[in-house]
Structure 1
């Protein structure tokens, strides 16, 4: 992010009508489709400010993110929301830090994350209000492929094969039970305040299959087979069925494909300093390995 944009963001935060006195502002880590800032008011209250416009190329619409974040806060799995405006959200700044991928695979953390996701899937519906989006990964992948074709993206010649894989996985999964999901389970979006875990960042939230969230958690954090089994058994509270595991593995492949396409789009749409081309190729390599393990 260049200095001019950084200054504009700080000015936008400073001028929000929510503040009741002098504030101090500092940047927070994380955010690939948004900018995040910590704010300390003179009265000692601490807030997190999230700035971000719609990103249609990624299916990120801020009305949906804000509605999901408010519902998650009411359900007790995300911080309290104090103020929203188009492209702006102010929430409680939690003490603690996000997990990392190495911490995620610890047995005790898999248990805690499984319980947090089960609570998301079973309790948020009662708090959701207004129009909301769905997140069907196979539609998302096809949309990315269309955009990459129009833009003549770097991997355009691979798209026919990748879309055949996408269709195969969608057919293999078949019918699913729909719940409200997070859909972006990077370790950085799971926050530990020292006493409990919270879910952050609802950019991609929407109605989806619960098993996609579990598979997305696995694919984003490089879980091994034994970790996957521990996660599924913790989530269900029982030994999982063969059909559930087959669906989970197919969703894991679909999640890897989606991450590859997300990075391929970001190669020419993002202003963040990141090697998206390398990430695209890494995810495609992991996808090929996961496909080889499907049967």
Structure 2
């Protein structure tokens, strides 16, 4: 997709004068470029719909526009089907250790997302419920004769228990993909980027996603929950969080497995991604079982 994507970006009508493109590395399912024209620097992001991942670019665009209006993300300056151009920000892209060091700031911007995005996003409601995603991924892996398809029944057997452990919370508009690289720090404030999975759901997923994707310690997890809820978490909240963290890790593992079947971003090792997060899932599941009983 890269060469075709680069040509498409180069031919956009929004540029003023000659445009220079520099590929951005690290995208797992998109091609992105830093674009510089006579008016400044931008990031151009090219991606297609991925129904296997419940990703639709029109929804991503609406979420990105709302995120700019909410003060969470850079401005979208141009968009067309499967392509967005946003203003470039001079900022440090976080690694896991950065998220842990700046946990309160990360929680604050996620809470702002939950508070403000639901008032600003337009169009049909996008829903994200990780337990449905996991079951659907299971069908995709079985139908695609994936190398780990025989493990799917065992993984999904735990999903119902993890789902039943959830507690009622207000519906929020969440990000649902809080990998460290989606937090950016310009030295004064944080930015939240990449809204492919943005949709209405439970705050518990974003909170657990921060932990599952950034290797938080148990102490840091308690801190995370206390900051977000502004109180000491109840035992039922802790159980729901541990269950959701387990589901989050499994989702990231199965995302990698489904991507093995359907995606082909240059240089991305989807199998290694899946195996890394499968290890995180298995550790989280053991912890959940030790604390609350076998699933």
Identify the TM-score tier after normalising by the shorter chain: over 0.9
CA distance in 1: counterparts of 2:273 and 2:181, whole angstroms: 17
CA deviation vs aligned residue, 1:206-245 (integer Å, no higher than 9, x gap): 1110011010111011111111111111222222222222
Mapped pair 1:276 → 2:270: yes
CA distance in 2: counterparts of 1:101 and 1:75, whole angstroms: 25
Residue 65 of structure 1 deviates from its aligned partner by: 0.5
CA distance in 2: counterparts of 1:10 and 1:77, whole angstroms: 27
Q: Which stretch of structure 1 is more off in the superposition, 218-227 or 262-271?
A: 262-271
2:200 match: secondary structure: strand
Instruction: Provide the residue aligned with 2:157 in structure 1.
Output: 164
Q: Which stretch of structure 1 is more off in the superposition, 81-90 or 168-177?
A: 168-177
1:64 match: secondary structure: helix
Structure 1 gaps of 5+ residues are: none
1:151 to 135, 144, 164: 144
Trace 1:103-252 onto structure 2 (pairs within 5 A).
103-106=98-101, 109-173=102-166, 175-252=168-245
Instruction: Provide the residue aligned with 1:288 in structure 2.
Output: 282
Mapped pair 1:41 → 2:34: no
CA distance in 2: counterparts of 1:102 and 1:121, whole angstroms: 24
Residue 159 of structure 1 deviates from its aligned partner by: 0.8
CA distance in 2: counterparts of 1:249 and 1:239, whole angstroms: 15
Residue 174 of structure 1 deviates from its aligned partner by: 5.0
CA distance in 1: counterparts of 2:8 and 2:242, whole angstroms: 44
Instruction: Provide the residue aligned with 1:62 in structure 2.
Output: 57
1:78 to 73, 80, 105: 73
1:105 match: secondary structure: helix
Q: Is the 8 A contact 1:110 1:234 kept in 2?
A: no
Mapped pair 1:100 → 2:95: yes
Give RMSD over aligned pairs: 1.3
Q: Is the 8 A contact 2:226 2:233 kept in 1?
A: yes
CA deviation vs aligned residue, 1:180-210 (integer Å, no higher than 9, x gap): 0000000000011111000000011111100
Residue 270 of structure 1 deviates from its aligned partner by: 2.2
CA distance in 1: counterparts of 2:269 and 2:15, whole angstroms: 37
2:28 match: secondary structure: coil
Query: With structure 1 as the length reference, what TM-score do the two structures score?
Result: 0.94
Q: Is the 8 A contact 1:33 1:55 kept in 2?
A: no
Aligned length: 288
Residue 11 of structure 1 deviates from its aligned partner by: 1.3
Mapped pair 1:257 → 2:250: yes
Which 4+ stretches in 1 moved above 3 angstroms? none
1:129 match: secondary structure: coil
Q: Is the 8 A contact 1:95 1:193 kept in 2?
A: yes
Instruction: Provide the residue aligned with 1:6 in structure 2.
Output: 2
Q: Is the 8 A contact 2:144 2:261 kept in 1?
A: no
CA distance in 2: counterparts of 1:208 and 1:71, whole angstroms: 16
CA distance in 2: counterparts of 1:212 and 1:268, whole angstroms: 25
CA distance in 1: counterparts of 2:119 and 2:89, whole angstroms: 24
2:176 match: secondary structure: coil
CA distance in 2: counterparts of 1:7 and 1:274, whole angstroms: 16
1:173 match: secondary structure: coil
